[in-house]
Amino acid sequence: MSKVHNFSAGPSILNQEVLKKASEAVVNFNNLNLSILEISHRSKDFVAVMDNAVALVKEILNVPEGYSVLFLQGGASTGFLNTVLNYGNKNGSAAYLNTGAWSKKAFKEADISHGEAIIVASSEDKNFNYIPKGYTVPDGVDYFHITTNNTIFGTQIKDIPVQENTLLIADMSSDIFSRKINVSDYALIYAGAQKNLGPAGTTLYIVKDDLLGQTNRTIPTMLDLRTHIGKGSMFNTPPVYPIYVSMLTLEWLKANGGIEWIERVNQEKAALLYSEIDANPLFEGTAEKEDRSDMNVTFVLTNDDVKEDFDKMWNEAGISGINGHRDVGGYRASIYNAMPIESIQVLVDTMKQLANKYDLVNE
């Protein structure tokens, strides 16, 4: 079977070793002659999975004392609402940095549910091709929300805007576990699993415990993060299989050197692809260079006349999932943790091949 180089933005590529173990567990988990899909989430075998997944998150990200780790349902979209309900006091405004489609959705939820929400800075004026800088977050806001990586527009916050006496909340769905972070800077981190952690179906929450319960609102039981902390992510039936695959991914990450290793690898992968984009006269990046994402590389052709040739070439090379989002156009190569550098080299070689052909045609 020919290898497929999966550049999908999400659900995205998973490590082959992880997929093999995960597929075996679907048939026979822990030699129980039962599938991971049919065992009780209360069984000792799955409780061990949950405990291990939580412990690995804490170890790999160096989560300090006083934080809880949760694996919940609902995706980051539910995280938009959980943020408002659990941290919006209605005593001040909820502040948002608008850097793309997902931050706009998060702000919309706050605008509906909080009562007062403000955008402190936005890059919408240039179709989100940069990260705003030089802005000020007003004093007295309930929290400041950021989206650390923007999958559609290919930008990433390189310098995290920590501000004294302001609760920082981050949607890290598309770059969690890709680089070192200082968890103690955040009141809340949440991230859908389907980019760097596992399959769609579970969302990771890292919660600073002593900042909960300070709102003046009644929070629905399922949306109160204290509910899930008290029940160890098992207030209701958790998404067993996505959590199991996430645990396997974290084991793979730890075994290969953890965050320090993967950050170095990710920077190397991104540099390889961006170097070709900048050197090849047929391509140009869409994001400002200083704000380019190491996870989602967005680029366009400088000559639309060669699009048919390029599309044929990358299809023949076994490349998949590289078409850009409709809001940007062009192409998007999502190069999450599990993407091997060999696949990026295939894409780079295909881009070189296009340039060679174009030069020959025009001689």
How high is the mean pLDDT of the chain? Answer: 95
Query: Is there a contact between 299 and 285 (Cβ–Cβ < 8 Å)?
Result: yes
Question: Which helix (H) or strand (E) element contains residue 268?
Answer: helix 258-279
Q: What pLDDT digit, counting tens, does each position of 74-86 carry?
A: 999 999 999 999 9
CA angle 127, 130, 132 (to 5 degrees): 110
Q: What is the pLDDT of residue 47?
A: 97
Q: Which residues, in sequence order, are bridge partners of residue 94?
A: 117, 143
Query: Is there a contact between 246 and 70 (Cβ–Cβ < 8 Å)?
Result: no
Above 80 in pLDDT, residue 143? yes
Q: Which residues, in sequence order, are bridge partners of residue 299?
A: 285, 331
Q: What is the pTM of this model?
A: 0.96
Going by DSSP bridges, is the β-strand pair 5-6/319-320 parallel, antiparallel, or unpaired? Answer: parallel
258-361 CATH: 3.90.1150.10
- Rounded Cα distance, 132 and 121, in Å: 6
* Residues sharing a CB contact under 8 Å with residue 338, sequence separation 6 or more, in sequence order: 12, 13, 14, 15, 18, 196, 249
Above 80 in pLDDT, residue 37? yes
Domain regions of the chain by residue span: 16-256, 258-361
- Rounded Cα distance, 341 and 337, in Å: 10
Question: Which helix (H) or strand (E) element contains residue 270?
Answer: helix 258-279
Percent of the chain that is helix, strand, coil (3-state, to 5)? 40, 15, 40
Above 90 in pLDDT, residue 272? yes
Domain 16-256 sits in CATH 3.40.640.10: yes
**Is residue 361 very low, low, confident or very high in pLDDT (cuts 50, 70, 90)?**
very low
Q: What pLDDT digit, counting tens, does each position of 91-114 carry?
A: 778 999 999 999 999 999 998 876
How large a percentage of the chain has pLDDT more than 90?
A: 91
Active site (catalytic) residues: 102, 171, 195
Q: What pLDDT digit, counting tens, does each position of 177-212 carry?
A: 999 999 999 999 999 999 999 999 999 999 999 999
Whether cis (ω within 30° of 0) applies to the bond prior to 242 is no
- Rounded Cα distance, 99 and 140, in Å: 22
